[in-house]
């Protein structure tokens, strides 16, 4: 079965650079969530989209922005990167219903900021 695809899988950036993470949800899933997971920590919700509109916002820094496109893929844009942004970034998608069903996670993008 098709799963959530994230790219790139690994990314190394310098401080103050920008990064773009991409997420391709499971086919027919219209809701996308982004989570950040620091080392040894639980995933923290950043932002979500339903039918290409932002539906909820969590602890996402103002330096980050995201959007969902017409094909339902989503991109997380990160600017002025800081050392503390180094983490695993997961995207999850869920079935039609505005996020009322199980979220399936992608493999994550490991971002390292030097």
Partner 1 sequence: GESVGLHLPTLSVQEGDNSIINCAYSNSASDYFIWYKQESGKGPQFIIDIRSNMDKRQGQRVTVLLNKTVKHLSLQIAATQPGDSAVYFCAEIDYGGSQGNLIFGKGTKLSVKP
> 111 CB contacts (<8 Å, ≥6 apart)?
11, 12, 13, 19, 21, 78, 85, 86, 87, 88, 89
Backbone angles phi, psi at 92, to 5 degrees: -130, 150
Q: Which of 31, 36, 68, 74 binds partner 1 (CB under 8 A)?
A: 31
Q: Which of 58, 77, 96, 112 binds partner 1 (CB under 8 A)?
A: 58
Q: Which of 1, 27, 40, 70 binds partner 1 (CB under 8 A)?
A: 40
Position 8 contacts partner 1 (CB under 8 A): no
For residues 18 and 41, which CB has a smaller minimum distance to partner 1 in the complex? 41
């Amino acid at each position: 079965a098709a799963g959530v695809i994230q790219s790139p899988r690994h990314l190394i950036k310098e401080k103050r650079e920008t990064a773009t993470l991409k997420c391709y949800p499971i086919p027919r899933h219209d809701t996308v969530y982004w989570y950040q997971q620091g080392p040894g920590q639980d995933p923290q919700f950043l932002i979500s989209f339903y039918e290409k509109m932002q539906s909820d916002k969590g602890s996402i820094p103002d330096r980050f922005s995201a959007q969902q496109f017409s094909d339902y893929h989503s991109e997380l844009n990160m600017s002025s990167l800081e050392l503390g942004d180094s983490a695993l970034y997961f995207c999850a998608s869920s079935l039609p219903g505005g996020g009322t069903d199980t979220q399936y996670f992608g493999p994550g993008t490991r971002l390292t900021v030097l």
